[in-house]
Amino acid sequence: MDREKKIQLKRELGYFWGTNFLIINIVGAGIFVSPKGVLEYSCMNVELSLCVWAACAVLSMTSTLCFAEIGIAFPCSGAHYYFIKRCFGPLMAFLSLWTSLFLGPGLTASQALLLAEYGIQPFYPSCPAPHLPKKCLALGVLWLVGILNSRGVKELSWLQAVSTVLKMGILCLISLSGVFMLVRSKKENVERLQDAFNGDFPELSQLTEAVFQGYFAFAGGGCFTYVAGELKEPNKTIPKCIFTALPLITVVYLLANVSYLTVLTPREILSSDAVAITWTDRVIPQLTWIVPFAISLSLFSNLVITVLESARVTYIAGQQGQLPLIFRTLNIHSSPFIAVLLNVSMGSIVIVLTNLIELINYLYFMDSIWTMLSMIGILKLRYQEPNLYRPYKVFLPFTFITIAICLCLVLIPLVKSPNMHYIYVLIFLLSGLLFHIPLIHFKLKLIWFEKITCYLQLLFNICIPDVSDELVSEVEA
């Protein structure tokens, strides 16, 4: 059979796609909607808040480079899942998978609802948008995203390019407008920015909160571990994408914050729930309707990528035998269709039951734990397998910095606002053992599920990939 006609995840994504992918993952709604968190916890000390943004960029670079080693050393889709299994065994890998099976749909649901809110809100300028049309739009968008993902990664390239241009275009408009107003030395703008630098110095606990607020705006740098198996020459492509995207994002973020402060006072920023829209009302009121729609369109690409990433984890878990055979199948577009369908279906349930989205905040708590374990895994393998082929090695102090950040993200919520929800999250995590022990450890076979698998293969025209041991051949070569 001709290689191009084989059903498998192909390495056909290059530097341009990877750079867009990283930008889309990092640049979300935060910089458009609520940069006030850093300013608030910096006690409205603008000079310090800008330093916090710069520090967060450096911290983001360290964690991203740590994940780059994982994606390069194990160049397969869902590399972080495979990495945890290799370092800590199948039980820990399954518990990580158990978390992601619910975190992924929860994230997609929250992103779809946020997108719907910004898409509908301009039609209700004087009151909150009703819940029913918001949910209907969110469901429609989510299933559209599922259809796009089922068409394969290559089909999403044009969407990524448009989204990146749109996101960076909005940010550049805001940034360059602020710079232009300062260069023109318009008196009120210069005085407003100068006055903004007269702030108090916060306490250490507040400064830590400010760093966390900014760090979330830079989150998403570990995304390459999801698609490392579909990148051309990942040992070269991943570092080049990181050193292109992150400096660009950092400069734009800093200039955007300067522009906000050029037009708005710190108190006006703190009183706004959507700083970008408030800025637009003040500077370019003609675009007040356009900006919310532009933000919605940019969030659409984030939603597409979230579904793509969640599906890759489910697919690789199927390859590793921790999920039923049906989840390791691909359709004719080389897309893990069943994994995409599972994520979209569960996301739809979460959208309908809106109160479940509150659990996502606590699942993020678990995500920090898995990130910390990944960093410990890097240290563990450096010691246990010093001769493992690593085209790229991260500077080890970066690993310790990332561990410290994750440890703070885990401990601070427990200390600051202890409640029973964290106990429930722990119980939820351990509930994965109820499935792991009979199905994975004792390899219990469900005959009826095997029959369903056959019917689903015929119904959706899906099959086992032609190269079913792709992961083993690439990683152990």
DSSP structural state of residue 12: -
429-451 b/e (C-beta count within 10 Å ≥ 16 → b): beebeeebeebbeeeeeeeeeee
pLDDT of res. 198:
58
How many angstroms separate the CA atoms of 443 and 421, rounded? Answer: 32
Helices 90-120 and 337-352: crossing angle in degrees, nearest 10, is: 60
Q: What angle do CA 357, 362, 363 make, to 5 degrees?
A: 80
Per-residue buried b or exposed e for 452-468, using 16+ beta carbons within 10 Å of the residue's own CB:
ebeeebeeeebebbeee
Ranges of residues in the chain with a pLDDT under 70 are 1-7, 29-30, 32-34, 125-126, 128, 185-200, 202, 204-205, 273-274, 354-364, 417-419, 466-477
Separation CA 120–CA 128 (nearest Å): 9
Count CB neighbours of 271 within 10 A: 12
The span from the CA of 379 to the CA of 205, in Å, is 29
Measured between alpha carbons, how far is 311 from 146 in angstroms, rounded to an integer?
10
Query: Across the chain, how many H-helices and E-strands are there?
Result: 22, 0
Report the alpha-carbon distance of residue 286 to residue 276 in Å, rounded.
14
Q: How far apart are CA 87 and CA 296, in angstroms?
A: 39
Structure-token pair, residue 442: 């004792």
Q: Cα dist. 190→194, 195, 260, 266, 339 in Å?
A: 6, 9, 12, 14, 53
Which of 129, 147, 155 lies closest to 12 in space, CA to CA? 155
pLDDT at 403: 92
Angle, CA of 272, 277 and 281, to the nearest 5°: 100
Cα dihedral sign, 401-407-410-415: negative
The DSSP element (H or E) to which 397 belongs, if any, is helix 396-416
| SS3 label, residue 463 | strand
DSSP state of 47: H
Q: Rounded to the nearest 10 degrees, what angle do helices 290-319 and 131-149 cross at?
A: 50
- What span, in angstroms and rounded, lies between the C-alpha atoms of 94 and 435? 9
Which residues have C-beta within 8 Å of that of residue 190, sequence separation ≥ 6?
Answer: 182
* DSSP annotation string for 160-173: HHHHHHHHHHHHHH
Dist CA 81 CA 94 (whole Å): 9
Sign of the dihedral through C-alpha 21, 22, 28, 32? negative
Residue environment code for 46-71, b if the CB has 16+ CB neighbours within 10 A, otherwise e:
bebbbebbeebbebbbbbbbbbbbbb
* Cα(276)–Cα(291) distance, integer angstroms: 8
User: Nearest to residue 343, comparing CAs of 155, 101, 76, 45?
Assistant: 101
231 bridge partner residues:
13
SS3 306: helix
What pLDDT does residue 240 have? Answer: 93
Residue 73, SS3? helix
- HSE-CB at 476 with a 13 A cutoff on CA atoms is 7
Nearest CA to 102 out of 325, 360, 421 is that of 360
Relative orientation angle of helices 90-120 and 421-430, to the nearest 10 degrees? 130
Q: What is the pLDDT at residue 343?
A: 92
CA atoms within 13 A on the CB side of 44: 14
